Amino acid sequence: MSDQFELYDLRVTVVEIKGRSVCGLQVGDYFELSESSHLRIPADKHFCIYALGSVLALLSAKQRHLHANDWMEKDSLVACPDPDEQLIMKIERIARRTLNTDELT
């Protein structure tokens, strides 16, 4: 039995801001999640912790292959909880990676 499994690397991108950007994010700002748990933000950029908090719980599901009819497979937009900003983020799968269970916790 193999200890290998596959996960998707993800990119979460700000795709729309209908209100005012209080936290300083702009459309196009993003972070990436790779290798199961590595969060990367481009140099000299930031990502608001409240926007991050609204999307974190969904990322582990989006990393996995899901049934075609699962709502998590179909939905990819997430709203920041700040009503003044009305910031919308999109979760995208950017790569598929093979990992080994023994190398992770």
Q: Dump pLDDT digits (tens) for 4-30.
A: 889 899 999 999 999 988 899 999 999
The ranges of the chain with pLDDT < 70 are 1, 104-105
pLDDT score at 54 = 95
pLDDT score at 40 = 97
pLDDT score at 1 = 66
Domain ranges within the chain, ordered by starting residue? 4-99
| Reported pTM | 0.90
Q: Left, alpha or beta for 36 (phi > 0: left; psi -120 to 50: alpha)?
A: left
d(C-alpha 65, C-alpha 93), whole Å: 10
pLDDT score at 4 = 87
pLDDT score at 18 = 94
pLDDT score at 105 = 60
Other residues' Cβ atoms within 10 Å of the Cβ of residue 68: 7
